Chains A and B, each alone.
Chain A
Amino acid sequence: MRSIHRMQRTVFARTTRVVLGVAVLGWLGLVSAADAFQASEVGAAPTGRASRRAVLPPQVEKIDKAMESAWVDAKIKPSAVEDEIKWCRRVYLDLIGRIPSFEEFSEFAKDKSPDKRYTLVNKLLNDDQYTEEYAAHWTSIWTNILIGRNGGMEERSLIDRQGMQKYLRDSFARNKPYNTMVYELVTATGTTKPGSEGFNGATNFLAMKVNEENGVQATAAVSKIFLGLQVQCTQCHNHPFNQWKQQKFWEFNAFFRQSRALRRFVKGTNDINYVELVNQDFAGEGAHPEKAEIYYQLRNGVTKVAYPVFIDGTAIGKSGYVSEVNRREELGKKMMESDFLDKAIVNRVWSHFLGYGFTKPIDDLGPHSPVSHIELFEQLSNDFRESSYDLKQLMVWITMSKPYQLTSKIGKENDSDDPSVGELPKFSHFYTRQMSAEQLYTSLAVATQANRRGNLEEQQRRREDWMRQFIVAFGTDEGDETTTFNGSIPQSLMMFNGELIREAISLEPGTWLHQLSQNRAAPQDKVQYLFIAGLGRKPKPEELTVATQILAARKGEVGGMLQDMWWAILNSNEFIFNH
């Protein structure tokens, strides 16, 4: 802190006298638009006079009770409830993938009803005006889960990324039950590309995972994503840390052996036009299609046989003829009956909203993984099944629960609750975390009205082009990848100088910032507007002081000052973190 003040003195030394003048003359007259924010900072806690309030689903209370008793057991005291404007920002980010606009902030701030949080959650989930954004947000999350950030971007890829996204967008827009979605993804047949004959976007999930290496990618992805079982290590040998055995891996793998992704070429060329995912009769490796077996080798070279058997030990018919046994459909049916299906998704959604799941990593539910809040986890999983796999219901339970209302401020009585150092999460405060690159991009689009050309689909495509700069691959056959949008220097450089930020702070006529600079309001009101739009709060006195100093250094040019302040806001931790 001290060094900042020293630096501030040096940087602005030449302009001090001008500063004072501006402070007196220019910054008089407070704004009315932001008055609502003053009042809301007090924040009504969600637990109030029950008589006047909407009835929350019983799962909310289940969560609250389980959390409260775990806090008592751990001898910690949860943080206070977050002020509602900060909470509003949080719930927009998590449910629809962006921060609220100035108008949306104001509307929420003005609402005096004790049910305002519940009203907002329901609005974001169910109001038509948000359907597209809700679907787009969950589509980008699930695209990354199913085919990775790079899936369909490589040359000669078998995946049509847009086809995948079209399927997901339709599914989320209609709030398709989760189990139906899984069944469709696992059993899909048809073509990958929108507009092609027999198009079924769900095929893109497996299109690139069935041909190579006898479908081990499909085996690993389906079990990990939908059942929370990490089996990839057991492909070659029994693994010491995993109760899955090599036999089980190949029995699961056998379900995918009728599946092929067939390339369809652009007429007269070698370019892949699209891919058709089909089920074909499988002769087995012993050439007995009526009993189509596969072979695998133990590390000592002994060869073993496997037929399709689900993880719970249930075998299906051994025939390789699709007309007799459609192996992927059989797998889909077995998955629908498995508890692991429920747990894997509840864990994933919980972790999306609360920063950590009940297990770490969230897609490893094997017996070797320690589980926090085990009874609650099982109850929620069960309740989710009974709610007919309604994802929006699950989101209501979580976003209205106590842990999701808490501030991210850590107190003395819960500073031990830090999962980043290896403790099981207690959810006694909100865990501060960085926005995803997608959330950042979309938030900037809302806050600055930039990048809004075209419909949501085109915007999504532009965003993915932009995202490619952050992808780094690992050079394995499995297409593993990571992102440099992880809080390291490349991300900061992008935020400092990148085109996206240049656009966001552009003063070209027609831009949002240009309009603001031309507006007749006082400079101070404009700065206040920036803080509310970016951070959902009014500027603090020291922040106004810096703005005043910059205005003086800019010799009174308001546009330049707004540019600098907006740049600083967008680069700040308070902006880039979900808190």
Chain B
Amino acid sequence: MWNRYVTPRGMTRRHFMSHAAGAGAMMGASLSFGHSLRVHADELKKSRKSCVLLWMGGGPSSMDIWDLKPGTDNGGEFKQISTSGDVLISEHMPMMAQQMHHMAIIRSMSTREADHNRGRYYMHTGYVPDANVDYPSYGSVISHEVMSQRPELEIPPFVSVGGASEGPGFLGMAWAPFNVTSNGRVRNLEMSVDNDRLMQRRVALETIENSFIAQKRGSVLEDHRKVLGKTFDLLTSKQMEAFQVDKEPEAMKEMYGKNGFGQGCLLARRLVEAGVPFVEVDLGGWDNHQNIFRTLQNDRLPVLDKAMAALTSDLADRGLLEDTCIVWMGEFSRTPRINADAGRDHWARAWSVVVGGAGVKGGQAVGATNEDGTEVVGEPYSSEDLMASVCHALGISLETTFTSKNGRPMKIANSGKLIKDLFA
């Protein structure tokens, strides 16, 4: 657990609130209490940061999207175009080109994990897989850290749209991603009983639950109780409307693209507006061992371009981009060399990620690769460095330390160092 949360203040209050709210509903007397909290929440909103991670499952090719090498043997088929920032990107990202003044490309990522599972874990946690410790992923770390700013939040603070994300590690299941499909449909929300009866069932359930926990049969049982509490919160919350992406006007849906990823990004914007601190949206299909150029040009890039550009401009228009960090990445990139099947294989040694919003200086490329894209020129950056920089953008101190249950102290983001050039 995080040291400074030995007594987790946010949790205690929420725990108390959930009971008070439940009991209040029975008594019909909770209004004044809820009201004063809402006023408090308005003050906190000012410092409220969020993060949207666009996760590109499979490992997208940097050299065909963000860091082109036209005219070299490895360059491939695509041309580059100028953008609203001081960077050139792929011709198949024309809408994003208009938003690049908001975004920074880090072109000097260099990692060692080129297996999907290992790479996904490493990029999500800042740690290589370790048989002995389960590390928490981005969404778990960040939502855990900023929850004290969100006393009013009744819906899960870490939402994963259309994909699995990675787990909460030693933070426990209460910080697990809440998985929904890209249309925002949450299964099994329909309660078959009224609130009175639900609360009666809750008392019965917690009576059994508590007496079993008291028998000391392992910490997983505590986690179960916490998750139950969160589920009760969510069942009775009006904030669940944030998931109803269907309520958006048709033009808005069109702007993001009427496909899973497009609607997922639109859902992410709704959730950020509702105060959810971390949303991950998944777009798979980047594992292009064959026919990479056709797949990217006709299929993946149009979907990505439209949705990512819509999300960026929409957040900016609503004044949310200054507090929302957008991160675009996959588990690794693809080989500069084009293989015999007109594809590219796994490559982690030199590649790009994209970051913007929440104070990140847009319109620039940080770092570079050599002429044929095989090596980083200058200082290489790691998953740890990226994670540290995102935490910094969200106002989370890099001195934050947590201690695993066996007493080992660990700095947030595995002691990654801030990528200073990202911040003006």
Please list the residues of chain A having a beta carbon within 8 angstroms of any beta carbon in chain B.
Answer: 1, 3-4, 6-8, 10-13, 213, 232-233, 236-237, 240, 301, 359-361, 364, 369-370, 408-410, 418, 420-423, 431-434, 469, 472-478, 480-482, 484, 486-494, 496-498, 502, 535, 540, 542-543, 546-547, 549-550, 553, 564-565, 567-569, 571-574, 576-577, 579
Chain B residues with CB under 8 A of A502:
192
B342 interface contact, C-beta 8 A: no
B287 interface contact, C-beta 8 A: yes
B42 interface contact, C-beta 8 A: no
Write the B104-115 contact mask toward A (1 if CB under 8 angstroms, else 0): 000000001011
**Among B15, B19, B406, which residue has its beta carbon within 8 angstroms of that of A6?**
B19
* Chain B min CB distance to A313 (Å): 25
* Chain B min CB distance to A509 (Å): 18
Write the B197-231 contact mask toward A (1 if CB under 8 angstroms, else 0): 10111111111111111011111110111011011
Inter-chain contact B213/A573, CB cutoff 8 Å: yes
> Considering only CB atoms, which chain A residue lies closest to B212 in the complex?
A574
B176 interface contact, C-beta 8 A: yes
Inter-chain contact A568/B204, CB cutoff 8 Å: yes
* Chain B min CB distance to A488 (Å): 4
Inter-chain contact B131/A473, CB cutoff 8 Å: no
Inter-chain contact B208/A568, CB cutoff 8 Å: yes
B8 interface contact, C-beta 8 A: no
Contacts A7-B22, A432-B218 given; indicate if A489 touches B203 (C-beta within 8 A): no
**Among B178, B197, B285, B286, which residue has its beta carbon within 8 angstroms of that of A488?**
B178
Q: How far is the CA of A232 from the CA of B129 in the complex (A)?
A: 15
Number of interface residues of B (CB under 8 A): 85
B26 interface contact, C-beta 8 A: yes
Which residues, 96 to 133 on B, are CB-close (under 8 Å) to A? 112, 114-118, 120, 130-133
B252 interface contact, C-beta 8 A: no
B173 interface contact, C-beta 8 A: yes
Q: How far is the CA of A350 from the CA of B187 in the complex (A)?
A: 35
Q: List 18 A-B contacts (CB under 8 A).
A: A4-B206, A11-B22, A420-B134, A420-B218, A421-B170, A422-B132, A422-B404, A432-B220, A432-B221, A488-B177, A488-B179, A489-B178, A489-B227, A493-B187, A498-B187, A498-B188, A553-B200, A573-B225
> Considering only CB atoms, which chain A residue lies closest to B118 in the complex?
A233
Residue of A433, A497, A579 contacting most chain B CB atoms (<10 Å): A497
Chain A residues with CB under 8 A of B179:
472, 484, 488, 490
**Among B26, B130, B221, which residue has its beta carbon within 8 angstroms of that of A573?**
B221
Inter-chain contact A4/B215, CB cutoff 8 Å: no
Chain A residues with CB under 8 A of B208:
535, 543, 568-569, 572-574
The 7 closest A-B pairs by CB, nearest first: A475-B284, A475-B57, A422-B132, A568-B204, A10-B23, A421-B405, A488-B176
> Considering only CB atoms, which chain B residue lies closest to A494 in the complex?
B188
Q: How far is the CA of A418 from the CA of B404 in the complex (A)?
A: 12
Which residues, 19 to 35 on B, are CB-close (under 8 Å) to A? 19, 22-23, 26-27
Inter-chain contact B216/A409, CB cutoff 8 Å: yes
Inter-chain contact A11/B200, CB cutoff 8 Å: yes
**Among B178, B215, B216, B346, which residue has its beta carbon within 8 angstroms of that of A236?**
B346
Q: How far is the CA of A243 from the CA of B299 in the complex (A)?
A: 39
Chain A residues with CB under 8 A of B167:
486
**Among A472, A543, A579, which residue has its beta carbon within 8 angstroms of that of B207?**
A543
Q: How far is the CA of A564 from the CA of B196 in the complex (A)?
A: 12
* Chain B min CB distance to A26 (Å): 17
Q: How far is the CA of A548 from the CA of B286 in the complex (A)?
A: 58
**Among B131, B177, B207, which residue has its beta carbon within 8 angstroms of that of A4?**
B207
Contacts A433-B220, A474-B164, A488-B176 given; indicate if A7 touches B209 (C-beta within 8 A): no
Q: How far is the CA of A301 from the CA of B216 in the complex (A)?
A: 57
B362 interface contact, C-beta 8 A: no
Q: How far is the CA of A410 from the CA of B114 in the complex (A)?
A: 40
> Considering only CB atoms, which chain A residue lies closest to B59 in the complex?
A476
Q: How far is the CA of A12 from the CA of B27 in the complex (A)?
A: 10
Contacts A410-B218, A432-B220, A493-B188 given; indicate if A7 touches B173 (C-beta within 8 A): no
Chain B residues with CB under 8 A of A3:
15-16, 19
> Considering only CB atoms, which chain B residue lies closest to A10 in the complex?
B23
Inter-chain contact B116/A573, CB cutoff 8 Å: no
Inter-chain contact A432/B223, CB cutoff 8 Å: no
> Considering only CB atoms, which chain A residue lies closest to B180 in the complex?
A490
Inter-chain contact B176/A496, CB cutoff 8 Å: no
Which residues, 158 to 187 on B, are CB-close (under 8 Å) to A? 163-164, 167, 170, 173, 176-179, 186-187
Chain A residues with CB under 8 A of B177:
488
Q: How far is the CA of A433 from the CA of B220 in the complex (A)?
A: 8
Inter-chain contact B57/A420, CB cutoff 8 Å: no
Chain B residues with CB under 8 A of A8:
203, 207
* Chain A min CB distance to B225 (Å): 7
Q: How far is the CA of A11 from the CA of B194 in the complex (A)?
A: 13
Q: How far is the CA of A502 from the CA of B193 in the complex (A)?
A: 11
Inter-chain contact B164/A473, CB cutoff 8 Å: yes
Inter-chain contact A540/B173, CB cutoff 8 Å: no
Residue of B187, B204, B206 contacting most chain A CB atoms (<10 Å): B204
| Known contacts A488-B179, A490-B188, A577-B224, then 5 further A-B pairs from the complex at CB < 8 Å, ordered by chain A residue | A12-B200, A421-B170, A477-B289, A478-B116, A565-B204
Chain B residues with CB under 8 A of A233:
114-115, 118
Inter-chain contact A487/B173, CB cutoff 8 Å: yes
Q: How far is the CA of A104 from the CA of B240 in the complex (A)?
A: 43
> Considering only CB atoms, which chain B residue lies closest to A497 in the complex?
B188
